[in-house]
Amino acid sequence: MSMAQVIHEQGPPEVMRWQEWLVPDPDSGEVCIRHTAVGVNFADTYHRAGISHPWTVPPRPCVIGFEAVGRVEGVGSQVSDFKVGDRVAYGLPPLGAYSEVRNYPADNLLHVPDHLDDKQVAALLMKGMTAQYLLHRTYKVQPGDTIVVHAAAGGMGLILCKWAKALGAQIVGTVSTDEKADVAHAAGCDFPVVRSKEDFVSKVREVTDGEGAAVVYEAIGKDTLQQSLDCLRPMGVCAAYGHVSGPPDPVDIIQDLGARGSLFITRPAIMHYLAKRSDLEWAARDLFQAIADGILEANINYEYKLEDAVQAHRAIESGTTHGATVLIP
């Protein structure tokens, strides 16, 4: 028996209960992991609240949590790539990271390179692998491209800004406060725009001589999606990878995409992009290299005990945080 944040029903942060949780022996393809650091992602709040992604949340009672780092304590009979004592990490479902100990499928598990510490990886793995596929596959960013990054001082936003800058992009980033504008600017965002003070569509037009951006990394959803489409150049890509303000209104392919210039829109998800082991390893390899090269750093600004996960969720849902949050078992 070990402890975990268990949800018996979906709802506000307080539905998470710190309680004993039975972990059986690992199945043949699983590894038993004792966590040392757990990453907090905005998607955890969706899973807890039942806002979207119902297919990823196990039947209640269950434990949520997308990513963690830890040590292997046991391996199933068919597992050959991992052994007891290995330092490992994951950033894909099945959910269950908000726990001291859990079983996890070896197929989705990664070894942690020696030069990275546990908290760094917990803060960066899932968000970093998401940034890798967004910047290299959803739209392949080229030197000189102008791109738009929403919530540019958030966990995803900072990683996208730093990595896109290293790829040679010019970045327009949106934020809610002057303080966050400074944080985004320090991370490589060329033109931070405080959304309540300045129109980001006009800013994009101004810095591209009217042409528009090659891609918008759209994480806000309901409040910004239509303006994001207005930012794009003809044949530009809207990568609507998140919706922190709520799911956006439906998009009309004729008026919203066709009339604005043959635009593309997609709702990318890490589970699809990294479903193949080769793609998971590609994303992790690029991410670990980017950290080693000094392009990315963890930006851990908030650290809570795992038993205080309720406070962590209240904080990220308030929209006032910047950078990454980790939980320590």
Ligand X SMILES: NC(=O)c1ccc[n+]([C@@H]2O[C@H](COP(=O)([O-])OP(=O)(O)OC[C@H]3O[C@@H](n4cnc5c(N)ncnc54)[C@H](OP(=O)(O)O)[C@@H]3O)[C@@H](O)[C@H]2O)c1
Residue 33 or 219 with smaller CB distance to ligand X: 219
48 binds ligand X (CB under 6 A): no
Q: Please, are residues 35 and 329 in contact by the beta-carbon 8 Å criterion?
A: yes
304 binds ligand X (CB under 6 A): no
Cβ 199 to ligand X shortest distance, Å:
15
Listed ranges 23-31, 74-82, 294-302, 312-320: which one lies at the site for ligand X (CB under 6 A): 312-320
164 binds ligand X (CB under 6 A): no
Residue 233's SS3 state is strand
219 binds ligand X (CB under 6 A): yes
Number of residues that bind ligand X (CB under 6 A): 27
Residue among 243, 233, 287 nearest 269 (CA): 243
Distances (CA, A) of 156 to 37, 90, 217, 258: 18, 17, 10, 29
Cβ 132 to ligand X shortest distance, Å:
11
User: For ligand X, what does the binding mask look like between residues 101 and 140, x meaning CB under 6 A?
Assistant: --------------------------x--x----------
7 binds ligand X (CB under 6 A): no
Residue 251 or 269 with smaller CB distance to ligand X: 269
Listed ranges 8-16, 54-62, 267-275, 290-298: which one lies at the site for ligand X (CB under 6 A): 267-275
268 binds ligand X (CB under 6 A): yes
Q: Please, are residues 61 and 8 in contact by the beta-carbon 8 Å criterion?
A: yes
Q: 75-104: which residues touch ligand X (CB under 6 A)?
A: none
DSSP 6-29: EESS--SGGGEEEEEE------TT
Residue 31 or 184 with smaller CB distance to ligand X: 184
Indicate which single residue of 257, 269, 295, 328 sits in contact with ligand X (rule: CB under 6 A): 269
242 binds ligand X (CB under 6 A): yes
39 binds ligand X (CB under 6 A): no
Burial 205-241 (b: 16+ CB within 10 A, else e): bebbeeebbbbbbbbbbeebbebbbbbbbeebbbbbb
Q: CB 142: neighbour CB atoms within 10 A?
A: 11
Indicate which single residue of 23, 38, 43, 169 sits in contact with ligand X (rule: CB under 6 A): 43
- H helices within the chain, ranges in order? 42-49, 118-133, 155-166, 178-186, 200-207, 225-230, 270-273, 277-292, 309-318
180 Cβ contact partners less than 8 Å away, ≥ 6 residues apart: 152, 153, 192, 194, 322
42 binds ligand X (CB under 6 A): yes
Q: Going by DSSP bridges, is the β-strand pair 30-39/67-75 parallel, antiparallel, or unpaired?
A: antiparallel
Q: 220-239: which residues touch ligand X (CB under 6 A)?
A: 220
Q: Please, are residues 160 and 132 in contact by the beta-carbon 8 Å criterion?
A: no
The contact set with ligand X (CB under 6 A) reads: 41-43, 127, 130, 151, 153-156, 175-176, 180, 219-220, 241-245, 268-270, 316-317, 319, 321
